[in-house]
Chain A
Amino acid sequence: MPYSTVFNNHLSNPRNAGELPDATVVAEETNPVCGDRLRLALRINNGQIENVRFLAYGCPPTIACGSALTELIQGVSVEAAAKLTRAEIAAAVGGLPSRKQHAAALALETLRAALAALHKKSEFVRDAALPPSMR
């Protein structure tokens, strides 16, 4: 199946690729079966995803979905990002054949892992501000 133009464009010119030195949170997820791997770094400011970077190892859909995901969440609120679906990621790369849906699933999982880590971190930060007796 030939991939769509938008897919090929993400592959040739991945958006927001690389690392984020001042990231608030970094998550990396692996598909244990095929070894595909996605790393997502987010910088959060005032509940907004101010900046985002990704790294990907895997088949072309994994790279394209990583790239498309960064575009979908750049500049949106953490709350809105948490509502993103797998179908929206797949649509953003022009659709995926069923055997490649796992790439969109990995992108979504990595996003959720990042948001979960962010949640944990913010709880920790809030807790740390409390006196020891109240933690």
Chain B
Amino acid sequence: MLPYLKSKFGNPSSVHRYGQEARAAVDRARRDVAGLIGARPNDVVFVSGGTEANNLAVRGLAESAANHGRHLITSAIEHSSVGGICEALEKRGWEVRRLPVYEDGIVRLDDLRAAIRPDTVLITVMLANNEIGTVQPIKEIGKLVDEERERGHRHLWLHTDAVQAAGRMELNVDDLGCDLLSLSAHKLYAPKGTGALYVRRGVRLTPQNAGGHQERERRAGTEDVPGIVAFGAAARIARDELAERTTQVRRLRDRFEQEVATRIDDIVFNGRGDNRLAHLSNISFRFIEGEGLLISLDLQGVAVSTGSACSSGTLEPSPVIQALGRSDELARGSIRFSFGKDNTEEDVDYVLETLVNSVTRLRQLSPLNKALA
């Protein structure tokens, strides 16, 4: 990537040699990203990140297919980008059906089957959830879409947001049967600011960026060459190291969860089923609020995240945790622990130690703690 920030400064749209050098680098990266998901390079569109990929996919498809219908189906636990696009489309006259997830954090095919209408043009369900890591049955949904098409429902497409799943599980667009798939570079350890949308050949999207011919007319704007080059390299490494990384983070995560369950009372695991990513753990701690725990851990060098946000005195408990049927208190007290390729057993030991201390201290402070009340 570094040469493309320093000396190799060509614009891929330029015809001169510097431009062609940049063009070749972008195309190489396109092959690498395509390789990660089993796609044809020409079906990969580079964008600025997962949010833009989701915008181009959902909004672009909805607008392009508006003559065939204005009904979309999605899940209750999508990333806020897909959720936000759906809300924006609803304001413009589209109808959106949000499939529930159950305590296991997974949608049901029967619910989906019942939700499909003749005017449904898009099903958009994420491959893996960003807060709890549950993996949705996209392959089965893809089969269902195929069956629908065979029955004559030709204008029905499937999009999946694979931002969280990429680099964490095997991905193959033909296997999944999806028409559109979103990716983000930084989830693969590349710099932030680049992503990609897989667009199956023949699927028409209304471009959301107009005014240039880049990316085969699907995304106008000069490509972020250094970011794309890094994305390609990260995709190649992620593919090569997938098995090794997955085994390692799964071992760390499983030990972490086991120890937390032994050492801390009054907790609830969220989405802890078989169908989930190996690197995520989401736990609700009773009697305490997630942000307090987050900051307390942060002060000790442990970075975690919470889906809840309290600002201006209004609280938005994590919609994902609420969708599992959890109470507001549990949704407020949920924390996501994410294990990365560079984490070690010692890191897990340290996190356990700081977590036990922080939870104990915050619970001693909490008027909700029944033991003290």
Residues of A within 8 A of B (CB): 3, 8, 11-12, 14, 17-19, 28, 31, 33-39, 55-60, 62-63, 98-100, 102, 105
Contacts and interface: CB of A to CB of B under 8 A. Distances in A.
A35 B365 contact: no
A60 B291 contact: yes
Interface of B: 287-289, 291-292, 295-296, 299, 310-315, 328-329, 332, 362, 364-368, 372
A34 B296 contact: no
A56 B328 contact: no
Nearest to A31: B313
Contacts of B328: 35
A34 B287 contact: no
B364 A56 contact: no
Contacts of A59: 289, 291-292, 310
A56 B367 CA distance: 6
Given A60-B291, A60-B295, A63-B365, A35 B315 contact: yes
A35 B300 CA distance: 26
A8 B372 CA distance: 25
Given A99-B311, A99-B312, A100-B311, A37 B368 contact: yes
Contacts of A38: 367
Contact of B365 (A8, A33, A56): A56
A37 B289 CA distance: 11
B291 A55 contact: no
Contacts of B288: 57
A35 B329 contact: yes
B34 to A, nearest CB: 41
Contacts of A63: 292, 362, 365
B334 to A, nearest CB: 14
